[in-house]
């Protein structure tokens, strides 16, 4: 099974939850913390991400970067920049 992980730019995320809905693994949830713009942001809530990139594709603000595991290292699979 392919393993993945994500990074969220917490200052860009506005907590719209589109990525939470799009994640087939239900790996994502809203943090209880807020960013400097007053929005709750998304974070990984389970260690079961497959690196499918659905979340990054649906994010309207390109706040998510997805990484996939490659042998012994985590290799960047898709980087979305603003
Ligand atoms: S890459 Fe796929 S499995 Fe991982 S958090 Fe995003 S939507 Fe979920
Ligand atoms: S889709 Fe993007 S902006 Fe919306 S909650 Fe997810 S990371 Fe944040």
Q: What is the CATH number of the domain that holds 54?
A: 3.30.70.20
Please say whether the beta carbons of 68 and 4 come within 8 A. Answer: yes
pLDDT tens digits along 6-26: 999 999 999 999 999 999 999
Closest residue by CA, ligand 1 atom 2: 52
Report the number of distinct structural domains present in the chain: 1
Closest residue by CA, ligand 2 atom 4: 16
Report pTM. Answer: 0.86
Structure-token pair, residue 46? 């389970």
pLDDT tens digits along 27-65: 999 999 999 999 999 999 999 999 999 999 999 999 999
CB atoms within 10 A of CB 24: 9
Residue 54 CA to ligand 1 center (angstroms) comes to: 6
Q: Is 25 in the pocket of ligand 1 (CB under 6 A)?
A: yes
CB atoms within 10 A of CB 13: 22
Domain range enclosing 62: 4-78
């Amino acid at each position: 099974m392919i393993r993945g992980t994500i990074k969220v730019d917490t200052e860009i995320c506005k907590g719209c939850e589109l990525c939470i809905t799009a994640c087939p693994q239900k790996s994502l949830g809203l943090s209880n913390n807020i960013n400097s713009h007053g929005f709750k942001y998304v974070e990984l809530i389970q260690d079961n991400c497959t690196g499918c990139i659905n979340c990054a594709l649906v994010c309207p603000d390109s706040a998510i970067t997805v990484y996939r595991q490659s042998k012994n290292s985590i290799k960047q699979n898709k980087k979305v920049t603003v």
